[in-house]
Amino acid sequence: MAKVELKKPIVEEISASIKDAQSVVIVDYRGLTVEQDTQLRRNLREAGVTYKVYKNTFLNFAFKGTEFEALAPYLEGPSAIAISTEDATAPARVLATFAKTADKLEIKAGVVEGTVYDAKGMATIASIPSRDELISKLLGSLQSPITNFARVMNQLAEKGGAAAAEPAAAETPAAEETVTAEAPAAEEAAPAAEEAAPAEAPAAE
């Protein structure tokens, strides 16, 4: 009974950790140096991944009745689990990247969004870009046409402004010619009025 009571808090801790997990990966950490283990934990923590070493017995108890129960056959030898509740591919990606410089780290298997993958399958999962990378690429592809469209519209606006300015400039000389043409007509009318005035004076006498 004492042993069962000691196991219970640990099993509950694991159960709480995997409750909302999008992925759980089992790894064999044997052979890692203290420095490598510290760096691995830091890398996983920065990626939002929980990493902890547990006895296989505790893991088996916690996995029972869940989608992670399929990992039971891989619980042999020392085991640590990497858990992510946000990015399903993060644990595999970080672990696989770290394993390139620490060949003692071995990914045994994992469950990603309800599907069980062996070591080979996890290697494929690890090659999938993160959600942020995918969103960034998507936004980049969407922004490119928008940028091109804005550039074209700007060019059309500039050309339209120049075209509108040319007719306005062409109309200005015509207005000046009209004023000039009317001026002589006014000057011709003035002498005619002066000639008519003397002719009317004798009639008044």
Tell me the pLDDT tens digit for each residue of 45-75. 999 999 999 999 999 999 999 999 999 999 9
Mean pLDDT in the chain? 79
174-200 in b/e burial notation, b at 16+ Cβ within 10 A? eeeeeeeeeeeeeeeeeeeeeeeeeee
**Using one digit for the tens of pLDDT, what is the confidence trace for 114-126?**
999 999 999 999 9
The residue to which tokens 């060019």 are assigned:
155
Separation CA 41–CA 30 (nearest Å): 14
145 class by beta-carbon count within 10 Å (0-12 exposed, 13-18 middle, 19+ buried): exposed
Query: Sorting pLDDT into bands at 50, 70 and 90, what band is 129?
Result: confident
- Alpha-carbon Rg of the chain, whole angstroms? 43
Q: What's the pLDDT tens digit per position in 1-19? A: 456 666 889 999 999 999 9
**pLDDT for residue 138 is more than 80:** no
Distance of alpha carbon 150 from alpha carbon 144, whole angstroms: 10
Q: Pick the residue with more confidence: 108 or 175? A: 108
Distance (Å, rounded) from C-alpha 20 to C-alpha 34?
30
